[in-house]
Amino acid sequence: MANNLLKGKKGIIFGALDQNSIAWKVAEFAHAEGASFTLTNAPIALRMGEINKLAETCKTIVIPADATSVEDLEKLFAQSTEHLGGKLDFVLHSIGMSPNVRKGKSYGDLNYEWFLKTLDISGLSFHKVMQVAEKLDAMNEWGSIVALSYIASQRVFPDYSDMAQAKALLESIARSYGERLGKLKKIRVNTISQSPTMTTAGSGVSGFDQFFSYADKMSPLGNASSEDCARYVVSLFSDYTRMVTMQNLFHDGGFSSMGISEALLK
Ligand SMILES: NC(=O)c1ccc[n+]([C@@H]2O[C@H](COP(=O)([O-])OP(=O)(O)OC[C@H]3O[C@@H](n4cnc5c(N)ncnc54)[C@H](O)[C@@H]3O)[C@@H](O)[C@H]2O)c1
């Protein structure tokens, strides 16, 4: 049931690793809605080769870029505008990784080099993406930039570890850069705080199955799926949300407003 919501719009989608990735679903929906875009991921993530299938479906190319490397990002934006034949209207930042979480470090025994990596990959990279886009003047007026976040930025979910700080950084960057790009070019910048979702990044957090089911029981609408998230992202890229900016938007079936639910008391 596509409606050409993104007809003629151009963009870059970061973070499609496999078909469970939120970015993968966004690419499928954005393609169905008439957008054209390039796909990108870290060189190491491209080795699996899965993303080539998505590129085929979406009739596009894959450009390798480590989102922590300004040089890679400069090449990515230059190649994308060239391939797409013009400036961009949207960017999706769907990137997250914590070596401390991956290696099961407890919060009282964090490796600080890894902590900085977590912040760089999952938070600071969002600033790098926007700074490169600004310097190359790669975006059109009334463009839309979205990054994905999680409620652990504001409430404590112990197993989320240093990713909580990375998401707090990400959301703060969205506000500060949203102000700047809004004034400069009427570009909006938002984060979506998404429900727990069964993906590689999601299920890397220990105890994920339990808190997936806890969040599902707490939320009146249940957990939002990656397909639901993709629809929401498309709406934020469309012209129907032009005045929404500098927000952290909860897309969580109501979870963030709940205290306790009947389902959890049973
Ligand atoms: N899955 C969840 O429960 C959940 C909930 C809320 C928010 N999110 C967020 O959604 C986003 C997408 O995650 P996902 O759940 O689709 O998992 P995913 O594992 O499919 O996606 C994470 C992506 O980040 C990419 N990445 C890692 N390091 C990178 C680097 N240096 N440069 C470029 N890309 C890099 C990975 O290759 C991967 O494609 C992340 O920001 C994640 O934190 C996920």
* Structural domain includes residue 15: yes
pLDDT band per the 50, 70, 90 thresholds, residue 208: confident
* Structural domain includes residue 3: no
The domain tally of the chain equals 1
The region that residue 185 occupies, defined by phi over 0 for left and psi between -120 and 50 for alpha, beta otherwise, is: alpha
What mean pLDDT do residues 18-26 have?
97
Pocket of ligand 1 (CB under 6 A): 14-15, 17, 21-23, 41-42, 45, 66-68, 94-97, 121, 148-150, 194, 196-197, 199-202
Residue nearest to atom 43 of ligand 1 (CA): 96
pLDDT the model gives residue 68: 98
Tens of pLDDT, residues 24-45: 999 999 999 999 999 999 999 9
Residue 220 · residue 252 · CB < 8 Å = no
Domain assignment of residue 142, given as a range: 10-265
pLDDT band per the 50, 70, 90 thresholds, residue 200: confident
* Structural domain includes residue 112: yes
**How far is it, in rounded angstroms, from Cα 14 to Cα 232?**
16
Ligand 1 centre and the CA of 148: distance in Å? 8
Residues 213-244, buried b or exposed e (16+ Cβ, 10 A)? ebbbbbbeebbbbbebbbbbbbebbbeebeee
- The pair of three-digit structure tokens given for residue 155, joined into one six-digit string: 């409430």
Closest CA to 125 of 159, 153, 157, 91: 91
Query: Does the pLDDT at position 2 exceed 80?
Result: yes
pLDDT the model gives residue 231: 98
pLDDT the model gives residue 1: 75
Query: Does the pLDDT at position 202 exceed 90?
Result: no
User: What CATH number should be reported for the domain holding residue 58?
Assistant: 3.40.50.720
**How far is it, in rounded angstroms, from Cα 60 to Cα 47?**
18
pLDDT the model gives residue 60: 98
Query: Does the pLDDT at position 21 exceed 90?
Result: yes
* Structural domain includes residue 22: yes
pLDDT the model gives residue 48: 84
pLDDT the model gives residue 204: 79
% of the chain at pLDDT higher than 70: 100
Alpha-carbon Rg for the chain, nearest whole angstrom, is 18
pLDDT the model gives residue 266: 84
Tens of pLDDT, residues 90-148: 999 999 999 999 999 999 999 999 999 999 999 999 999 999 999 999 999 999 999 99
* Structural domain includes residue 85: yes
More confident residue, 205 or 32: 32
Residue nearest to atom 36 of ligand 1 (CA): 15
Please tell me the least confidently modeled range out of 77-91, 203-217, 228-242: 203-217
Query: Does the pLDDT at position 229 exceed 80?
Result: yes
Q: Name the average pLDDT for the chain.
A: 97
* Structural domain includes residue 4: no
* Structural domain includes residue 43: yes
pLDDT band per the 50, 70, 90 thresholds, residue 13: very high
